[in-house]
C-alpha cells in the first residue's frame, strides 16, 4: 500500500505580546505590520486596554477592534478570549466609520466571546471600593467580574443573543443572585431582566452581520495560506497565571493565550514578537522594583505622556528591568524584540538598566512572581551613556546615534534575543527595521 504524504501546517501566524506591565506600544507595531498580514486578531482582555495609533496627523485609541482596521486590505477578528462591552464596541465601530474606514465585511466577532453586562461594571466598582487600601487598581470596566462568570459557567456569550428565550433564562438566573447582592449587601438598585433582554436584543440586531465561528474561520484561512497577526492586551507580567498575582489582569496576555483566545492551533505560530518599552511603566497597584519615585520618574512620565489610554490614569515610571524581561521572553518563547519609545530617552545624559535584584543581601537573576517576594527586592543597575540627540530621522540602524545603537546592542546581548524593530518616534514612519 502506498504511503500518503500529509501537508504540514505553514507557520504563518505571528503573535505580538507585551513583555512588561502592558502599555508597551503594541498598537503602533500592530498598525505598522498589519499591511503585511491578511488577518489581525485580538485574542484576550476587554475594553480595559487601549492601543494608541498615530497616522496622518491623527492619534486614535482602540479598545476592542484590532489595530489593523486602518489598513483596508486587512480583516480584523475579535476572538473568543475577549470579553466584549456592547456599548464600547458600538462606539468604537462608529468612531472607525467616522474616520472613513469600512467595518462591515472586515470585522468578525467570535460567537463564543463573552459579554460584559451592566451588572459586571457595577460589581467591579463596588468590589474595588470595598478593598480600601488593598485595591488591585482595576479600570472598573467590568472585566474581572465578566471573566469570573465565564469560569463559573454563568457567562453570557455573543451566541446567546441569537435566542431571546435562552438569553432571558440565563439573565434571570444570574440576576437572581446578583440583585440579592446589590440589594442586601450594597444597598443598590436591582437590575430589571426584561429591560436588559430588550437592550441586548437591539445590540444583537446591529452586530449580527459581524458574528461568525471565528475559530473555524481562522484555521481554514491559515490552512489556505493566509497570514495572521495576533495581538493581545496588557502584558506578560499581568498574566493571571504567570504575572505578579494578585495584582494582575483576569486573562492570559501571554503567547499561549493567543491560541486559546483565538482557537487557532499552536503549530501555525511561527514567530512571537515581544514588545519592549525602552523604560518601564505600570498602572495600578503591585510591586514595581525599578520604579522611580523622584524627578527622573516624573520626567519619564512627562516626556512619554504616560497616562492610561483607557482611563487617563497616571502611569508609574522606572528604568528598564532585564530580570523581568528575561522571564517574559522565556515564558512567551519570544523570537524577536520590538523596542518602543526609545525617543523618550533622547534627552537623558545617563540611562540606567536593572540587571539583577538584591534579595535579603543576596544577588538574584530570576524573577519572583509572588508579590510578597517581589516587593522586597532592590534593583541593581548598570549605567549607560545617553545619546542626547533625536533619532527621529533614522530609518536604518546605522543612521541612529552611536550611543543609542549601543543601548540597543546592550539589551540584545543581555537578553540573547535580536531587536528587529526600533520605534524612534510616535509616527508610523518613525521606525527603524533591522
Active site residue ranges: 23, 51
Q: Which residues have C-beta within 8 Å of that of residue 302, sequence separation ≥ 6?
A: none
Where are any strands of DSSP class E within 256-410? 269-277, 280-282, 316-318, 320-321, 336-340, 350-359, 362-364, 378-385
117 three-state secondary structure: coil
Local structure of 106: helix, strand or coil: coil
Enumerate residues 6+ apart whose C-beta is below 8 A from 220: none
Q: Classify residue 339 by its DSSP letter.
A: E
Residue 399 DSSP code = G
| CB count in 10 Å sphere of residue 348 | 18
Please identify which residue in the block is written with the cell numbers 436588559: 196
Radius of gyration of the chain (CA): 22
84 three-class SS: strand
Cβ(274)–Cβ(326) under 8 Å? no
The strand pair at 13-18 and 51-55 is best described as unpaired
Taking CA atoms, 360 is separated from 145, 241, 363, in Å, by 37, 26, 8
Would you say 71 and 35 are in contact if contact means Cβ atoms under 8 Å apart? yes
Residue 258 near residue 69, CB atoms below 8 Å: no
Please answer whether residues 79 and 85 qualify as being in contact, where contact means their C-beta atoms are separated by less than 8 angstroms.
no
Residue 398 burial (CB < 10 Å; 0-12/13-18/19+)? Answer: exposed
Q: How far apart are CA 390 and CA 405, in angstroms?
A: 12
Backbone angles phi, psi at 212, to 5 degrees: -155, 170
101 neighbors 92 (Cβ within 8 angstroms): no
Amino acid at each position: 500500500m502506498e504511503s500518503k504524504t500529509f501537508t504540514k501546517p505553514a507557520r504563518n501566524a505571528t503573535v505580538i505580546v507585551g513583555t512588561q506591565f502592558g502599555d508597551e506600544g503594541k498598537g503602533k507595531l500592530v498598525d505598522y505590520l498589519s499591511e503585511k498580514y491578511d488577518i489581525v486578531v485580538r485574542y484576550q482582555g476587554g475594553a480595559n486596554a487601549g492601543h494608541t495609533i498615530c497616522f496622518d496627523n491623527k492619534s486614535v485609541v482602540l479598545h476592542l477592534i484590532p489595530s489593523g482596521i486602518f489598513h483596508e486590505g486587512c480583516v480584523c477578528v475579535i476572538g473568543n478570549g475577549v470579553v466584549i462591552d456592547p456599548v464600547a464596541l458600538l462606539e468604537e465601530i462608529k468612531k472607525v466609520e467616522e474616520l472613513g474606514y469600512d467595518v462591515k465585511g472586515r470585522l468578525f466577532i467570535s460567537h463564543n466571546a463573552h459579554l460584559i453586562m451592566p451588572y459586571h461594571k457595577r460589581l467591579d466598582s463596588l468590589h474595588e471600593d470595598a478593598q480600601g487600601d488593598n485595591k488591585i487598581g482595576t479600570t472598573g470596566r467590568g472585566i474581572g467580574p465578566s471573566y469570573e462568570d465565564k469560569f463559573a459557567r454563568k457567562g453570557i456569550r455573543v451566541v446567546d443573543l441569537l435566542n431571546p428565550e435562552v438569553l432571558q433564562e440565563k439573565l434571570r438566573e444570574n440576576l437572581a443572585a446578583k440583585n440579592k447582592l446589590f440589594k442586601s449587601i450594597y444597598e443598590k438598585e436591582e437590575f430589571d431582566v426584561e429591560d436588559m433582554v430588550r437592550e441586548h436584543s437591539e445590540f444583537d440586531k446591529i452586530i449580527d452581520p459581524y458574528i461568525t465561528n471565528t475559530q473555524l474561520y481562522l484555521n481554514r484561512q491559515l490552512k489556505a495560506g493566509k497570514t495572521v497577526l495576533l495581538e493581545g492586551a496588557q502584558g506578560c507580567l499581568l498574566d493571571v497565571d504567570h504575572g505578579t498575582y494578585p495584582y494582575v489582569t483576569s486573562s492570559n496576555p501571554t503567547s499561549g493565550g493567543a491560541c486559546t483566545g483565538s482557537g487557532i492551533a499552536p503549530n501555525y505560530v511561527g514567530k512571537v514578537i515581544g514588545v519592549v518599552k525602552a523604560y518601564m511603566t505600570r498602572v495600578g497597584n503591585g510591586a514595581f522594583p525599578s520604579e522611580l519615585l523622584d524627578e527622573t520618574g516624573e520626567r519619564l512620565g512627562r516626556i512619554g505622556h504616560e497616562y492610561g489610554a483607557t482611563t487617563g490614569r497616571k502611569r508609574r515610571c522606572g528604568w528598564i528591568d532585564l530580570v523581568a524581561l528575561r522571564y517574559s521572553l522565556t515564558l512567551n518563547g519570544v523570537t524577536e524584540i520590538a523596542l518602543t519609545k526609545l525617543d523618550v530617552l533622547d534627552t537623558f545624559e545617563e540611562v540606567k538598566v536593572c540587571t539583577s535584584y538584591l534579595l535579603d543581601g543576596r544577588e538574584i537573576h530570576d524573577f519572583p512572581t509572588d508579590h510578597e517576594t517581589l516587593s522586597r527586592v532592590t534593583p541593581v543597575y548598570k549605567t549607560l551613556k545617553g545619546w542626547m540627540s533625536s533619532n527621529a530621522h533614522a530609518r536604518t540602524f546605522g543612521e541612529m546615534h552611536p550611543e543609542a545603537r549601543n543601548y540597543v546592542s546592550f539589551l540584545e546581548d543581555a537578553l540573547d534575543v535580536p531587536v528587529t524593530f526600533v520605534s524612534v518616534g510616535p509616527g508610523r514612519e518613525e521606525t527603524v527595521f533591522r
